[in-house]
């Protein structure tokens, strides 16, 4: 039996998915949720085999759900989306299943059969396929993140990107600092950097990204290295390798 979650903010869409699944005796719907924050908790707690995930949910969308769970730990996913055919090419190219709203019965069965096959084979590389598809979608359709969904102590904290002062690498996580608080986010520096608007955020070293609007002064050091001093007095070491990008942003 395949244990499935339905995650979509539209009640009509959830009912439609349930309706289609009633004809599938090997699928057990173990829950349905209408917002991304609840979806993150549900995936972590219930550990479903398969998730029907709407990409375009308010506040915390499907992209944010994947970010919070981590692509390596995501169950099998059938994305539910209203994206156009051009954007959907990313899913086709990277062999990630999707259904387009309004849901077509035959397309739904095709996606479901593919999901069954991958689950039965325990096919590897699912996380890589999801990451590649979402990265390609990000280049063509997705705006830079306005919020970060951070799971901590059993809760999901939504942090407005504009409130972030700096980001520091912390092993397999990144540490997001805003004001006197900070949270850990399971994501690589490279992935998070790609989600942040380069008009406002700049990488100053392999392990640090700063909000250019929070910079108070720059202190040159030896051999082209430098120290960025933020408005709250925090000092962030910068590498000469990243100096050009920093100078270009802070002059603009």
Helix, strand, coil % (nearest 5) of the chain?
40, 30, 30
Dist. CA 225–CA 216, nearest whole Å: 17
Residue 148, token pair as written in the block: 């970060």
For residues 147 and 60, is the Cβ–Cβ distance under 8 A? Answer: yes
Q: Are 101 and 183 members of one domain?
A: no
Q: Are 115 and 35 members of one domain?
A: yes
Question: Residue 81: which CATH number?
Answer: 3.40.50.2300
Q: Are 6 and 116 members of one domain?
A: yes
113 in any annotated domain: yes
Q: Are 132 and 190 members of one domain?
A: no
Dist. CA 79–CA 98, nearest whole Å: 4
Q: How far from 60 is each of 39, 67, 118, 133, 203, CA to CA, in Å?
A: 9, 10, 27, 19, 25
pTM comes to 0.59
Whether 52 has a pLDDT exceeding 70, the answer reads: yes
pLDDT at residue number 171 = 85
pLDDT at residue number 91 = 58
152 in any annotated domain: no
Q: Are 122 and 67 members of one domain?
A: yes
Burial class (CB in 10 A: 0-12, 13-18, 19+), 156: buried
* CA 77 centroid distance within chain: 14
Question: Residue 223: which CATH number?
Answer: 2.40.50.1020
Of 91, 108, 140, the one marking the end of a domain is 140
pLDDT at residue number 222 = 83
| pLDDT tens track for 15-44 | 999 999 999 999 999 999 998 888 888 888
154 in any annotated domain: no
Q: How many domains does the chain have?
A: 2
Q: Cα-flanking dihedrals φ and ψ of residue 89, to 5°?
A: -55, -30
| pLDDT tens track for 136-149 | 565 444 457 777 87
């Amino acid at each position: 039996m395949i244990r499935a979650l339905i995650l979509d903010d539209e009640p009509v869409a959830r009912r439609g998915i349930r309706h289609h699944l009633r004809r599938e005796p090997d699928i057990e719907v173990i829950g349905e949720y209408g917002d991304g924050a609840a979806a993150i908790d549900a995936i972590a707690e219930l550990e479903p085999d398969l998730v029907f995930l709407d990409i375009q949910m308010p506040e915390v969308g499907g992209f944010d759900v994947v970010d919070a769970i981590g692509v390596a730990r995501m169950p099998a996913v059938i994305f539910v989306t209203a994206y156009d055919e051009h954007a959907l090419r990313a899913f086709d190219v990277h062999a990630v299943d999707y259904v387009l709203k309004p849901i077509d019965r035959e397309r739904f069965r095709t996606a479901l059969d593919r999901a069954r096959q991958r689950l039965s084979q325990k096919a590897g590389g699912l996380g890589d396929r999801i990451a590649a598809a979402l990265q390609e979608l990000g280049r063509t359709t997705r705006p830079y993140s306005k919020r970060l969904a951070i799971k901590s102590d059993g809760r999901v904290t939504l942090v407005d990107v504009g409130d972030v002062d700096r980001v520091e690498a912390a092993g397999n996580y990144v540490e997001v600092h805003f004001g006197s608080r900070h949270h850990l986010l399971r994501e690589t520096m490279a992935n998070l950097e790609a989600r942040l608007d380069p008009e406002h955020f700049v990488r100053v070293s392999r392990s640090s990204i700063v909000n250019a609007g929070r910079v108070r002064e720059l202190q040159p050091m030896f051999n082209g290295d430098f120290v960025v001093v933020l408005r709250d007095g925090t000092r962030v070491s910068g590498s000469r390798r990243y100096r050009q990008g920093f100078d270009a942003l802070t002059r603009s």
